[in-house]
Structure 1
Amino acid sequence: MFALIAGQGDLPGLLAKHLDDQGRKPLIAALEGFAPDGLDVDLTFRVETLGTFLIELGKAGVTDVCFVGSVARPALDPGKIDANTMPLVPVIMQAMQAGDDGALRAVLDIFEKTGFKMQGAHEILPDLLPPAGIATKTQPTEHHKKDAARGQAIVAAMGVADVGQSCVVARGQAQAIEAQPGTDWMLRSLASDQERVVPGGILYKAPKPNQDRRIDLPVIGLNTVENAAAAGLNGLVLEAGCVMVPGFETVVRACDEAGLFLWLRETDQ
């Protein structure tokens, strides 16, 4: 049986429907406070009761697990840690003090050592990863291509520090880098301070180096397109085969309407 540990956004609903259509109705679980939109939740859990939650998944017959959707890092209440979770406390505390990638690796390790097979959203629904190439009518210029190479280097350096998965570059200058609040917050921040922004920039988005791609693979959607346009950018550059785009055709149309290019860029370009 499949379980989706579902957060917010469009992806949980897409995966649940896909599995339903295959006759593999998933169990839907959610971290308290981050219930997915439009899905009935079967199990709700807290980090402080993770051990009990793992036991409940096993009793329900779950064998495969996928983390999908966005959540924020919760605050822990030591008084709510239950007996089944006490053995996991050292790993949980270490994870909470690590960067996002380090924390997620620790969570994956807990689930795998419990006996669950972990799968990425793109493994369940491969269409989430669009093919390489320029998908829009608008094309990147030579200076956009140079900015994309610069963006690749910046995101790789950010990844070493386990910081974020995207940045904005214009004429070789880093305009903004993604931190804990996320890509859309970064773009909205640029849109609110246009006097300091070099026009004609790009959003570059890619996984962190050596990231476990079964969890927290980068994703963009219509909100990203809207925020990129509001920030005065010329286009979006995604590492091909590594960034999920739910509703790809709709996103391409939105880019065309906004006059943005969407480039699924291979890393050797």
Structure 2
Amino acid sequence: MLFKKVRPGRLGLIAGQGNFPLLLAEAARRRNVEVVAFAVKKLTSPRIEELAARVHWLALGQLQRAIDLFHEEGLRYAVMAGRVPVTQIFKLHTLDRRALKIITSLKSKQADSILGRVVEEFAAENIEFIDSAHYLSDLLPQRGLLTNHRRPTDQEMADVEFAQGLAKSVAGLDIGQTVVVKSGAVVAVEAMEGTDQTILRAGEVAGPGTVVVKVSKPKQDRRFDVPIVGITTIKHLVRARCAVLAMSAGETLFFDQEEAIKMAEENDICLLAI
């Protein structure tokens, strides 16, 4: 999805789990952008307090309150970063009327459908979401081998090509973005559990030597969904004794690159961008 170039002086950051919102806040601040964070209680790292000019802590599902605060802050631009497990949405007792109306009106309760509607609600209030990778483009690896200790074998590359086609099909259905194969056989397909649990499940089913492929969606909307790989991903690859991880070139945010590549090489795991 293409976005016009924007240079907001002030930015509202809707921050979920993990390091993504922290890295984004830090990168935006380096560019003299004032970041006002909207953090989710029990999900967002408290470290966001150190990186944002101000932080509003909200319960997941307080959509109207978030929009009201955007207006109070005078914010015109928003960015979404960090994971909010879809499973949390179905356990909520804190959905306000506006959020509840969205959830009950959607036929599909997939993440893209829900977040797409949230973006539309903000747009109706004259608040525009920008590309989540806008300030982190240097963390999008380009095509090629990212580790240096060895090249993938012919069989591993055949598995990468096989899994890539399957993963694109699955991603196009908004089911998941990761497929794990071994010697031409499908071992695991990501669904609601996420990439890390898919990797571990594949290791339990097929043992060592699996090939993991994580792709972008055919119509990836980077306002609320960017594929991410980081040191936690590599730790799960090590636990599952995987052989290869391939990710979409120019579309996947690769965090903790130096540490992640070192760990992969030490455990004979090839990393590549395809």
Change (3 A) 1:185 1:198: closer
Q: How many angstroms does 1:234 deviate by?
A: 0.8
How far the C-alpha of 1:35 sits from its partner, in A, is 2.1
Instruction: Pick the aligned partner of 1:81 from 96, 105, 109.
Output: 96
Query: Secondary structure of the equivalent of 2:227?
Result: coil
Pairing 1:84-123 to 2, within 5 Å after superposition: 85=98, 89-95=100-106, 97-123=108-134
How far 1:173 sits from its partner (Å)? 0.8
For residue 152 of structure 1, what is the aligned residue in structure 2?
164
What is the CA–CA distance in structure 1 between the aligned matches of 2:162 and 2:222, rounded to whole Å? 23
* Distance in 1 of aligned mates of 2:173 and 2:131: 23
The answer as to whether partners of 1:170 and 1:199 remain within 8 angstroms in 2 is no
**1:90 deviation in Å?**
3.3
Q: CA deviation at 1:89?
A: 4.3
Deviation, 1:33, is 2.9
| Stretches of 4+ aligned residues off by more than 6 angstroms | none
Matches within 5 A, 1:73-222: 73=86, 74=89, 75-77=91-93, 81=96, 85=98, 89-95=100-106, 97-137=108-148, 138-191=150-203, 193=204, 196-197=205-206, 199-222=208-231
Tell me whether 1:59 sits opposite 2:68 in the alignment. Answer: no
Unaligned runs of 5+ in 1: none
Instruction: Give CA deviations for 1:195-224 in whole Å, capped at 9, x if unaligned.
Output: x40642211001222121222211011111
TM superposition shift of 1:261: 0.8
Aligned to 1:19: 28
Which amino acid letter does the alignment assign opposite residue 175 of structure 2?
Answer: V
Q: Which of 232, 249, 253 is matched with 2:241 structurally?
A: 232
CA contact (8 A) 2:18 2:44 kept: no
Q: Residue 72 of structure 2 aligns to which amino acid in structure 1?
A: K
C-alpha contact (below 8 Å) 2:246/2:272 kept by paired residues: yes
- The amino acid that maps onto 1:67 is M
Q: Alignment length, in residue pairs? A: 257
The CA distance in 2 between the partners of 1:96 and 1:64, in whole Å, is: 29
- Structure 2 unaligned runs (5+)? 1-9
- Mark the CA change 1:47 to 1:260 in structure 2 (over 3 Å): closer, same or farther: closer
Give the corresponding residue for 2:56.
Answer: 43
Residue number in structure 2 paired with 1:8: 17
**Cα distance in 1 between the residues matched to 2:75 and 2:104:** 26
Query: 1:32 offset after TM fit, Å?
Result: 3.2
Alignment partner for residue 273 of structure 2, among 257, 260, 264?
264
- Please, what is the CA RMSD of the aligned residues? 2.1
Cross-structure match for 2:7: none
Partner residue in 1 for 2:85: 72
**1:170-207 deviation line (CA, Å, top 9, x unaligned):** 1111111111121111222234x2xx406422110012
- Work out whether residues 101 and 162 of structure 1, in 8 Å CA contact, stay in contact via their aligned partners in 2: yes
